[in-house]
Structure 1
Amino acid sequence: MRRNRNFIFLKDVAGLACTAFGGPQAHVAMMLRLLVAKRRYLTAAELLELQALCALLPGPTSTQTITAIGLRLGGPNLAYLTLLIWCLPAVIIMTVAGLLLSHVDGGRTAQIVQFVQPVAVGFVAFSAYRIAEKVIHTKTSVALMVAAAMVAYFFQLPWVLPVLLLAGGSVTTLRYRKHAIVQDKKPLQVEWANFGLWLGIFLGAALLGHYTEWLPMRLFENFYRNGSLVFGGGQVLAPLLFAEFVEFKHYLTSAEFLSGLGMVQALPGPNFAFASYIGALAMRPTGLGTTGQLVGAVVGALGIFLPGIFLIFFAIRFWDGLRQYRVVKASLEGVNAVSAGLVCAAALLLYHPLADRMLDMPGCPPGWRLPLNPLLVGITFLVLLWERIPSVAIIGAALLAGWLVG
């Protein structure tokens, strides 16, 4: 029975990997719909707690979250399979893009995915509605949600997210006496193995990267260091990689970097797969051809994803022990409220960059036109509210429409 559940979970992860467009906020929206509402692998509050914990750690938040779910359901083996299946589609596509850069038609790709972004915003808006419905129960939670949404909207800085989560948790911690005392508390045990593994590879890669002339080793150190120190997801990672690989080391041109960045934004799955594209292009000077570029892509993917995975494996093992304490339980009310506010802000922030498109109304006088993007966002929200059409069908319809129009 457990083996069948694990197989179904991995199939669900594969579905998300191929349809979860829009970055971490849209990813959690789809996880809520599939993994929580449909499959009931965990509750909405548990998913938000995991996402908040991952957001406090460096690394790719969505990847850490879905890997942590796999760890809880089936242990380390299922977690590593989850990581592989979640990352593989985006990593393969970005590797192929690195190998065939001169043949990639960026304009055609943009046409095909032109309707995916407003649909992704609809997913995020629906996620905000569902989260608020499940975790907002007090006036304090409402206030925290609104305040967090406003701060996140007006101050788009990488350190804002962890600060807001900590601040929200601190506010509701003051109400810890309202929570029941756990009588049989399990002793808090911290297992340092994964932290030691993360730190050991960090220091070892730094030394080898400094003293060796072997380019794959130096690339692994570069990506592992960035994956260990970046907070805030792919949007924050991109300028760091640009500064290191374009401006400082000149492994890529600015045009090559921006082409890859635009492509990864249009793909489902983790934005950190961008590292495989950079790794493939960075290996061109070695003269090893396709083989060398494939090595660079693998090194880039391993270097960027492994630090966050080691850290979440370390943190999650004592997280359940921490949740026994009333102070921690009380803080989770504020963390969840802030998480809801962050998703509300994300829906607005993701909507702003969309190009304005107007839809002519047949049979009406000239000038009678409907704004297409708000219409797509609203239709997506209503379809999700209906709960009869799977997410993959909605994304597939958006891609088909883009292909037909393009």
Structure 2
Amino acid sequence: MSVRTVRYYVFLKDILVLSLTAFGGPQAFLAMLLERMVKKRGYIQEEELWELNALCNMLPGPSSTQLVSAIGFRVGGPNLAYLALLVWILPATIIMVTAAVLIDFLQENTPGALNFARFIQPMAIGFIIFAAQKTISKMIKTTEAMILMLISAFVAFFYSSPYIFPVMLIIGGLSTSMKYKNQPKVAEESPLTIRWSNFYLWGGVLILAAIGGAITKYQPILLFENFYRNGSLIFGGGQVLVPYLYTEFVEFKHFLSSEEFLTGYAISQGIPGPTFSISSYVGALSMRESGLIGFITGGLISAAGIFLPGIFLIFFVIRFWDQLKLYRPVRAALEGINAVSCGMLIAAAYLLFEPLEANSTNIFFILGTYSLLQFTKISSPMIIAGGLVLGIITQHFLG
């Protein structure tokens, strides 16, 4: 076995360890990457890690997954990057598909079975509010961005079609890109040298999936297209994905109930790995009528759909990123895109709360979860576990 092969094997082993232990959201994940990938193994330099992280946050798709794949790309090229992607997403995908099967089984066989999750449903909204607050404080820096955020939230409140979201993101980006002259020149802008193969791959899959779904009406193809489209348009991480999925699969297509969605979202906050794994749960329940095969097929297709576009795009952009980041309109457009994403988060908190009963218990658990996240160091999995234990105790003694 060559030294290179051993190095690749060790790299994939490190990714597997991260996929099983990366609790606590993006901040904790970045700290783990810095410790294991930079300081312990030396796969890349620290400055390169932060630069790749910034690039992934600028692209649509799951930023943590793109970052893992980008490091794999730098270490061993596209083949290692795709293997790293698979190792990173598989544990969380399996957990969320299993959760979908169990929740559906409980609902079918035990009336009121989801009462054990009665508290983690409002707790999920607490997580969304916390994520919104953190994201807004980081991304909203100007009056124009604040106005864009409020407009997008207003539109999302009253026009919840999934097709309006990408339009709002494009408008937001274009509106702030026109202020590019306010961006400082960091160096002389030079002509871009672009290799288009991965862009064509991304666009080709999107078009083929859309055409295939429209012609065949075959649910797995339709499901793949739904998630591939979302994965191509989501800026801002897993928390921004929530309003898209909720609108499309709960309100628009009625594949899941609001109760099922909130339960799955809360579970996704308590497991390691990528937050986009909620997609596997939604996809699995969307194909529940086909039995166990449907659950597995829906979960895997949804995972492929949500993760692949971001990977295609990071492979496309990483080759000319050093040139692209010098262009002021590119940097200026991010302000509008991020502002619209923040507006989506505000809308998500409202849309997810609306189906819940507005009683003191739900409000207490929403505010309590937010307070624990904001003012204590208790981890997300521990908070979710506490909510589940309280739900089980309450169900046992009160029914």
Q: Same fold (TM over 0.5)?
A: yes
2:289 — aligned with what?
281
**In structure 2, how many angstroms separate the alpha carbons of the residues matched to 1:69 and 1:76?**
12
Q: Give the Å deviation of 1:347.
A: 1.9
| Residues 1:332 and 2:329 aligned together | no
Task: Pick one of 121, 126, 137 that aligns with 1:122.
Answer: 126
Q: 1:352 to 1:276 in 2, by over 3 A?
A: closer
**In structure 2, how many angstroms separate the alpha carbons of the residues matched to 1:82 and 1:125?**
27
2:347 — aligned with what?
345
Q: What is the DSSP-based 3-state SS (H/G/I as helix, E as strand, rest coil) of the residue aligned with 1:233?
A: helix
Q: Give the Å deviation of 1:183.
A: 3.4
2:263 — aligned with what?
266
1:403 — aligned with what?
392
Q: 1:95 to 1:401 in 2, by over 3 A?
A: closer
Q: Give the Å deviation of 1:68.
A: 2.3
Q: Give the Å deviation of 1:133.
A: 1.9
Task: Pick one of 99, 107, 117 that aligns with 1:93.
Answer: 99
Mapping for residues 60-139 of structure 1, pairs under 5 Å: 64-74=62-72, 75-96=81-102, 100=105, 104-109=109-114, 111-139=115-143
Gaps (5+ residues) in structure 1? 16-29, 55-63, 211-217, 243-256, 283-292, 358-370
Q: 1:68 to 1:355 in 2, by over 3 A?
A: same
Q: 1:281 to 1:151 in 2, by over 3 A?
A: closer
- Give deviations 1:68-94, integer Å, cap 9, x for gaps: 233234322221222212221121233
- Give deviations 1:84-119, integer Å, cap 9, x for gaps: 122211212334566x5785325122x111111222
| Residues 1:195 and 2:202 aligned together | yes
Mapping for residues 210-229 of structure 1, pairs under 5 Å: 220-228=220-228
* 1:45–1:135 CA contact under 8 A, matched in 2: no
Q: Give the Å deviation of 1:194.
A: 3.8
**In structure 2, how many angstroms separate the alpha carbons of the residues matched to 1:296 and 1:209?**
18
| Residues 1:389 and 2:383 aligned together | no
Q: Give the Å deviation of 1:281.
A: 3.3
| Residues 1:355 and 2:357 aligned together | yes
Task: Pick one of 179, 183, 190 that aligns with 2:184.
Answer: 179
**In structure 2, how many angstroms separate the alpha carbons of the residues matched to 1:335 and 1:317?**
21
* 2:210–2:225 CA contact under 8 A, matched in 1: no
Task: Pick one of 157, 164, 167 that aligns with 2:171.
Answer: 167
Task: Pick one of 285, 298, 312 that aligns with 1:300.
Answer: 298
Q: 1:234 to 1:324 in 2, by over 3 A?
A: farther
Q: 1:148 to 1:32 in 2, by over 3 A?
A: farther
**Code of the aligned partner of 2:15:** N
Task: Pick one of 10, 21, 25 that aligns with 1:31.
Answer: 25
1:246 — aligned with what?
none
Q: What is the DSSP-based 3-state SS (H/G/I as helix, E as strand, rest coil) of the residue aligned with 2:197?
A: coil
- Give deviations 1:21-62, integer Å, cap 9, x for gaps: xxxxxxxxx634543588677699666534xx23xxxxxxxx
1:309 — aligned with what?
307
2:366 — aligned with what?
377
* 1:179–1:330 CA contact under 8 A, matched in 2: no
Q: What is the DSSP-based 3-state SS (H/G/I as helix, E as strand, rest coil) of the residue aligned with 1:347?
A: helix
Q: TM-score normalised to the size of structure 1? A: 0.68
% of aligned pairs identical? Answer: 23
**Code of the aligned partner of 1:94:** A
**In structure 2, how many angstroms separate the alpha carbons of the residues matched to 1:277 and 1:333?**
36
**Code of the aligned partner of 1:386:** F
The total of aligned residue pairs comes to: 333
Considering only aligned residues, what root-mean-square deviation do their CA atoms show, in Å?
3.7
* 1:94–1:264 CA contact under 8 A, matched in 2: no
**In structure 2, how many angstroms separate the alpha carbons of the residues matched to 1:10 and 1:354?**
33
Q: What is the DSSP-based 3-state SS (H/G/I as helix, E as strand, rest coil) of the residue aligned with 2:358?
A: coil
**Code of the aligned partner of 1:317:** F
Q: What is the DSSP-based 3-state SS (H/G/I as helix, E as strand, rest coil) of the residue aligned with 2:118?
A: coil
Task: Pick one of 239, 244, 247 that aligns with 1:235.
Answer: 247
Q: TM-score normalised to the size of structure 2? A: 0.69
